[in-house]
Amino acid sequence: MADDKPPSSEKAVNPAGVNSSSKEAAQRRFLAALKAADTINGRLTTIMSSAAGQERVFAFVQYTSHSLHHILTSAPWIALQTRLSLLARLRAQSTKATTTPATAQSTSTPQTSPLLALSSLMSQARYMLRLLGLFPLLAWGSKTLKSPPSDPIMHALTLLQVISNIIYQILENASYLSTKGVIPKRFIDRFGGAERWGLWSTRAWFGHIFLQYFVLWRARVLRRKSEVEGLSKEKAEALNAEVRAWKKSLVNNACWTPLCLHWSVEKGIGFPGHLTGVVSFLAGAWGFYDLWNSTL
């Protein structure tokens, strides 16, 4: 009977080996997580090395937090949370009589939402960044005048977009700075007030979006002409990249159109407020995806 018992040394070695193996696996997972976090941080740092990249990141956080808030406070999500909580309590065979009221209270919408506060903070940060946005717009206009597009229709459309964007940026800057006390409020109020200036700023932005449809149409017409002529391999690759950029611009424009139209009307056009974050996110998702991949 004594021969059937395993050696005492075997009992001591096996558990130690298992624990050592699990510790090594945990260390490898921890190091892999650190490496992944370092890679993500490096790519974000590359993106945010420019003002345009910072604006993209702020926009991503703003629209994501806005969307998450409305998802987490939506009726379907609250109903799902309530059902899951009740199922968990039933499985635990809880006999408390306050189960349902306590669940309903815990899932009610808080008066102050941290996600909406974060979204608002990101919006303010983007306003600050756009205070310097007039300079690249003026540079765009200067470049268009010095080296205009060969197509006269595209030239005219580009000039109209430059003018529309400059008006938009001037009005937005003046409206925003007046709310911060930088520009005398009396001056702005004399011409309708900050809200009125902000409204016309959005309308100027909508002018750019409206013109962009004609820019995309004209670009497609010109591209079809070049396709008929025949292309080399290098030009075909460039054309494919141009087509992809065209599609991305179309998606961006189509998403912004209903939002900008809604904001351009004093009482809006009835666009649901809880969907503005989602649609705004979709407008820039493709661009942010390409920007993220460019850091590989």
How does pLDDT run across 186-211, given as a tens digit for each residue? 989 999 999 999 999 999 999 999 99
Is residue 111 included in any domain, yes or no? no
Question: Structure tokens of 250?
Answer: 């179309």
The last residue of a domain, from among 106, 136, 163: 106
Q: What integer pLDDT is reported at residue 113 of this predicted model? A: 87
What count of other Cβ atoms lies within 10 Å of the Cβ of residue 276?
18
> Do residues 139 and 265 both lie within one domain?
yes
> Do residues 192 and 266 both lie within one domain?
yes
Three-state DSSP at 291 gives helix
> Do residues 93 and 235 both lie within one domain?
no
> What integer best gives the mean pLDDT of the chain?
85
> Do residues 91 and 148 both lie within one domain?
no
- Which of 5-14, 69-78, 269-278 holds the top average pLDDT? 269-278
Three-state DSSP at 36 gives helix
Closest by CA to 202, choosing from 137, 265, 272, is 265
Host domain of residue 13: 2-106
Is residue 270 included in any domain, yes or no? yes
> Do residues 101 and 135 both lie within one domain?
no
Closest by CA to 277, choosing from 263, 259, 291, 254, is 259
Q: What integer pLDDT is reported at residue 7 of this predicted model? A: 52
Structurally, how many domains does the chain consist of? 2
Question: Structure tokens of 49?
Answer: 């090395």
* Residue 269 burial class via C-beta count within 10 angstroms: exposed 0-12, middle 13-18, buried 19 and up: exposed
Q: What integer pLDDT is reported at residue 96 of this predicted model? A: 47
Task: Give every CB contact of residue 205 below 8 A, 6+ residues apart in sequence.
Answer: 164, 165, 168, 260
> Do residues 77 and 138 both lie within one domain?
no
Q: What integer pLDDT is reported at residue 38 of this predicted model? A: 94
Q: What integer pLDDT is reported at residue 103 of this predicted model? A: 39
The last residue of a domain, from among 75, 106, 137: 106
